[in-house]
Structure 1
Amino acid sequence: FYFLFYFYFPSISLGFLVGYGTHLLGDLVTKQGLRLFYPFKFRIHGFLKTGGKIESFLFLFFGIFDLFLIFKLIFEVYL
């Protein structure tokens, strides 16, 4: 799927790949885990509780960090 997307939209395909990859990594660190090889029952578990304090802190931290990067990009382009 990524390769089809890459050929039709090469300028934004890397963003989608990084976003999908980080989403899977985020699911891997939760206690519910992730079944990477779906038909098999093997599941990789993490240490974070979904909806817990650590997850809320990480969400806030990365949200502020994203805003910082967006503003940095905007002001570097127009200055």
Structure 2
Amino acid sequence: MAFFNLLILSCRHQPQVEDFETSIGRIGQAELVHRFGYPQRLKRLGSGAEVWDYEFLSGGSRCVGYRVFFDEDQQSRSWERIPCR
């Protein structure tokens, strides 16, 4: 029974791909990290903006990759799908 409860709790905390997609453009870096964890990769651009790459398992073992673009004020602006590495 304890294992079953642990399994239920761990599934509930997995980020949902749809939630991730709809959050971009509405939240900043700190909230994104709080809700979905740290990115797998990040790059700082000369303009002060940043690009973060995320990878999630969706629908079992299917990997979904996202590149998120932030402005110099650390607000998410847009995203695009990328292949998982």
TM-score (norm 1): 0.28
> If you compute each CA radius of gyration, which structure gives the higher value, 1 or 2?
1
* Structure with bigger RCO (C-alpha 8 Å, 6+ apart): 2
Higher relative strand content: 2
Larger helix proportion of the pair: 1
